[in-house]
Structure 1
Amino acid sequence: MNAVAGIWATQGTVVLTGGLLVLCMALWATGLVAEIVTALLFFALAMLLKLAPATTVFSGFSSSAFWLVTSGMVVGLAMNHSGLGARLARMLSDRLPDSYPGFIAGLVAFSFLLAFVMPSNLGRIALMIPVLMAICDAYGLSVGRPGRTGALLAFGIATPMLSAAILPANVPNLVMAGTAETLFGLHLAYLPYLWLHAPVLAVVKGAILTACTVLIFPDRISGAQTPGDPLPPLSGEERRLAVILVGMLALWMSDGLHHIPPAWIGLAAAVIVMMPRVGVLPAEAFGQVPLKTCFYVAALFGLTAVVNETGLGRDIGHALLAMAPLEPGHLAKNLATLTGIAVGFLFAATANGAPALYTALAGELSQASGLDLMTVVMAQVVGYSTIFLPYQAPPIVMSMELGRIGLGDATRLTLASGFASLLIATPLAFLWWRLIGKLP
């Protein structure tokens, strides 16, 4: 009897965990309630229903990704406060080409470059969209012009899409890295990750996005860009922040030498930014950091940990493997299937939630495909960086709100760039992996 009761209790926990998983993912995907409300709902229900110990439910707060997101918010706030972010935007506007295709390409490239020093998608959108609207006015792309819509959308879509090639630059990457570290002990390094993904997921996808934008929103530069007043000299705050950012980036890029994870480097930079006389932010400015995003990341990790501890992850993996055409020795088919699984999770759980579900199944997927665990984990980046609908990436939704862009226009561009990326960039990504020796 005790054995039967134990089985029923276990199955009941699995069923309740599955219900909580569906509820949270549905709320996050549809946005019926705020992300922070869903995150707190997860913590409350998981503890009330006794699905797992508190150490498991709240394990996201001890993950490196949680602290990297938090530190990225602080650094972004410092760039806004010091004026360094506005200076970078002004430098951009002075160097953009006068041709419309060149203008769009410049914005897409700047979105990627800014991700190196400002590791927060939403922070970059909040900083740049108002600035880009002013730049569009200077270039004659007034309200209602297709070029204005294209410019704002190109930057908004490039922000989450291209930053997938930089390990600490967006939430999906951090969710993936944190889950892989927690479940499998995999540690991702900054430069190898950049070398693996940037040539295709940044350069090729950036070119695809530029071409799609120019074709869907054709326009021309009708106003002469007049040089503005010369930029003032760097202030003391800007100089100090620039030194901190250069040091942070240098340590990120040399992690193969010192083996310090990017999260702790980012956290140290955030602390220095708020130090008296050394930094640029007063300590009380931390109250302006949008911690709801940090709690969202912690909830995702906690949900993943609960799913795995209760055995639900194993059950989902078995069901998925029964349908997925994975077979050792069939490299192309396996990679296409893995990418398809990642894209499927993107529709169900958005770009932020998809890596948590996929990575939790990576062990099962590795066994079924015969591919090593790291290859299976990395294959999902190709998938979740391929965005088809605006709701799949919160930065795109934020860009639409700030730029007053309709859902129809945004959907046209995400669908076009998503399908073009799937057909062109996906096979090129795996071809690149083979050329550099990451695939047999």
Structure 2
Amino acid sequence: MGSSAAWGGLLLPGLLTAGTIGLWAASRLPEYLTALLFFAIAMILGIAPAEVVFSGFLSSAFWLVLSGFVLGVAIRKVGLADRAARLLAAHLSGSWPRMVGGVVLLTYALAFAMPSNMGRITLLMPVVMALADRAGLAEGGRGRIGLALAVGFGTFQLSASILPANVPNLIMAGAAERAYGAHFTYLSYLLLHAPVLGLLKGAVLTGCISALFPATPRKDIVAEAPGPLSAAERRMGLLLATTLLLWTTDAWHGIQPAWVGLGAACFCLLPRVGFLSGDEFAAGANIRTCIYVAGILGVTAVVVHSGLGAMIGDALLPLLPLDPARPGLGFATLAALTVLLNFVVTANGVPALFTPLAQGLAEGTGLPLLTVLMVQVIGYATPLLPYQASPIVVAMGMGKVPARDGLRLCLLLAVVTLALLVPLDYAWFRLLGWIS
């Protein structure tokens, strides 16, 4: 009787969660509208208290996403990011792997200063396509397609190794904070993920693109002489340097990256000394995505509050080959599980589904809870199909990349990641003490 009552109490939260995730996966409605429907239905039916349903708006992840949009708009407006990208692009000629690797490195380097994936793609794609023109890479040719994919895949996949630079990271951090009170510092997260998921994966991505999309670029690309820095560019550069410094030292001063970003965003909006007007803020701050992020965090909170996550975990654990005596097998299983979850909820939704299960998975694998939470980063950063990562889809559209080419690169990169990088990641986790 008690079991039946428990299942009955989970029916409405389960249906709402499944319906919300299903609509996000199928993209039948805009993502922000699905989030708003979730809020409305949850409150009308009394599925959870308001502080649970709307907890996403209280999360640091929501405010870091909003701050990232403001910083991205300001950087583009003053011309600082465009100047930096063009200066770097002038040094990418010489060979095809060097050009591809330079673009991949550019996407990774920019992720440290510009938190928004979409903002970086919007900034870089015109610059990289102009570089393709100067390099003599024809419209629709393999080389041009390769550079466009380097922007999309480098922007999304490599930025997963930098805590504030990727929406799934922020959702994961917010969900872990809400569910377990876990907090991740900027430097510890970077040290854990950057060597393998950042640098090594960048090298693998360069090799895959160079092999799949061979090209012969011109070697006599002429660099454009940059003009002097404007006063706005100098002030924006100082603000970015200060923000990055505070992000990298958060373990010492105790201010979370979200509040550092929010302070920088507020400076950008100040009259006279800032960079953006109210109209520019309204046009550039993607409130739709912010609502979507808050909706995902709200779903996670409802799953935890209702006990649905624990029940799903109890049902899932017996089906997985988990053995506390074999941590390597548990690590590989969790990585594969999160890769497969991309099919159901796409990369942004994986943390909402996986994080509430982390406690049960930690008990089943014998791995520490924080380690289980970190393993999911490998999975949601490794989509098997382009639709599973919206920044990649946006980049393919801007670069006029055929779907089959994006699919080929997705599958090849996923195979190499699972076969080569996951074992290396396991060894790195052990070396740093995240696995005993």
Query: Which bracket does the TM-score occupy, shorter chain normalised?
Result: over 0.9
**Do 1:140 and 1:223's aligned partners in 2 also have CA atoms closer than 8 Å?**
no
**Do 1:111 and 1:158's aligned partners in 2 also have CA atoms closer than 8 Å?**
yes
In the TM superposition, residue 374 of structure 1 has moved relative to its aligned partner by 0.9
Q: Give, as a single letter, the amino acid of the residue that structure 2 aligns with 1:150.
A: G
Q: Counterpart in 1 of 2:301?
A: 305
Match of 2:256 among 261, 273, 279: 261
Match of 1:249 among 238, 241, 244: 244
In the TM superposition, residue 439 of structure 1 has moved relative to its aligned partner by 2.2
Number of equivalences: 435
Match of 1:375 among 371, 376, 379: 371
| TM-score normalised by length of structure 2 | 0.97
Q: Counterpart in 2 of 1:285?
A: 280
Range with bigger deviation, 130-139 or 61-70: 130-139
Please report the RMSD computed on the Cα atoms of aligned residues, expressed in angstroms: 1.5
Q: Counterpart in 2 of 1:90?
A: 86
Match of 1:32 among 18, 28, 33: 28
Match of 2:17 among 14, 17, 21: 21
1:31, 1:128 → 2: CA distance? 26
In the TM superposition, residue 83 of structure 1 has moved relative to its aligned partner by 0.7
Instruction: Determine whether 1:210 maps to 2:206.
Output: yes
**Do 2:297 and 2:352's aligned partners in 1 also have CA atoms closer than 8 Å?**
yes
**Structure 1 regions of 5+ residues with no counterpart?**
none
Task: List aligned pairs for 1:72-83, cutoff 5 A.
Answer: 72-83=68-79
In the TM superposition, residue 303 of structure 1 has moved relative to its aligned partner by 0.5
In the TM superposition, residue 10 of structure 1 has moved relative to its aligned partner by 5.4
Q: Counterpart in 1 of 2:267?
A: 272
Q: Counterpart in 2 of 1:327?
A: 323
Task: List aligned pairs for 1:345-424, cutoff 5 A.
Answer: 345-424=341-420
Instruction: Determine whether 1:46 maps to 2:23.
Output: no
1:371, 1:420 → 2: CA distance? 24
2:160 alignment partner, SS class = helix
CA deviation map 1:35-64 (0-9, x unaligned): 111111111121122211111111100000
2:171 alignment partner, SS class = helix
In the TM superposition, residue 223 of structure 1 has moved relative to its aligned partner by 6.3
Task: List aligned pairs for 1:124-273, cutoff 5 A.
Answer: 124-222=120-218, 224-228=220-224, 230-273=225-268
1:344 alignment partner, SS class = helix
**Do 1:275 and 1:283's aligned partners in 2 also have CA atoms closer than 8 Å?**
no
2:9, 2:388 → 1: CA distance? 29
1:398, 1:180 → 2: CA distance? 28
| TM-score normalised by length of structure 1 | 0.96
2:431, 2:48 → 1: CA distance? 44
Q: Counterpart in 2 of 1:343?
A: 339
Task: List aligned pairs for 1:51-62, cutoff 5 A.
Answer: 51-62=47-58
1:193, 1:100 → 2: CA distance? 32
**Do 1:366 and 1:373's aligned partners in 2 also have CA atoms closer than 8 Å?**
yes
C-alpha distance 45-7 of structure 1, shift in aligned 2 (>3 A): farther
Instruction: Determine whether 1:107 maps to 2:111.
Output: no
Match of 2:312 among 298, 306, 316: 316
**Do 1:146 and 1:217's aligned partners in 2 also have CA atoms closer than 8 Å?**
yes
1:213, 1:388 → 2: CA distance? 16
2:112 alignment partner, SS class = helix
1:292, 1:7 → 2: CA distance? 40
**Structure 2 regions of 5+ residues with no counterpart?**
none
In the TM superposition, residue 332 of structure 1 has moved relative to its aligned partner by 0.8
Runs of 4+ deviating beyond 6 Å: 6-9
1:9, 1:431 → 2: CA distance? 45
CA deviation map 1:132-184 (0-9, x unaligned): 11111011112021000011011101111000100110101001111111111
**Do 1:125 and 1:399's aligned partners in 2 also have CA atoms closer than 8 Å?**
yes
2:346 alignment partner, SS class = helix
